[in-house]
Amino acid sequence: MSRSGKNPDRKVRTAKKRSQSSTLWLQRQLNDPYVKQAKADGYRSRAAYKLIELDEKFGLLKGVQRVVDLGITPGGWSQVVRKIAPKAAIVGIDLLETDPIEGVTIFQMDFMDDKAPAVLENALDGPPDLVMSDMAANTVGHKQTDHLRTMGLVEAAAWFATENLSEGGTFIAKVLAGGTDTELLNLLKKHFKLVKHAKPPASRKGSSEWYVIAQGFKGRD
């Protein structure tokens, strides 16, 4: 951001029907360099840079052939995969509607639906070598409840990964402050050679989100 005074932070007037919190959020969006860069690069959200930065650090997308994107909406992560690994087959799922992405198969359904795992498995010609999850439960304003709801999604994503990944595969998922719960962490350490937590620079400083990266899937017994 320029310090010359030629490009000052944009201010948003508080409309009569807009809450103060909404106004602050909109102002933050307008002044966020990642949001501006996402528009310039054609990505649907600033979250794309979180995956880009994590990939630069951990090599998540190197040689991937089949990818599952859990919580795909609005599609930024799958856009990144398409750019870095253009030959990879990608399947995404989200409860919300997602605009089509060329080369990506998208299902609008709840990942927690009992039928969802089979739908994803059948859409790929072989086991995925990367399962990525940016899912988060809708917040209710109660910190402990919100944490439990989101970690429930992470746990479901982890079980899906351990039941479907190809040997040597990778699992990445968004978790909240405090990292991965002990039981889930033990599950990942049992099935993967390397398990780490990371907070990419693209994550807002005030955000409670972190990412757990599990690499080197050991395979199923």
Catalytic residue IDs: 174
Residue 92 annotated as binding site: no
Q: Is 9 annotated as a binding residue?
A: no
For 103, the token pair is: 């080369």
Residues 6+ positions from 165 with CB-CB distance below 8 Å: 127, 128, 129, 131, 171, 217
Q: Note the residue count of the chain.
A: 221
Q: d(Cα 2, Cα 5) in Å, to the nearest integer? A: 7
75 is known to lie in a ligand binding site: yes
> Is 125 labelled a binding residue?
no
Query: 221 labelled as ligand-binding?
Result: no
Q: Are the C-beta atoms of 150 and 208 separated by less than 8 Å?
A: no
Binding site membership for S-adenosyl-L-methionine: which residues? Answer: 75, 77, 94, 110, 134
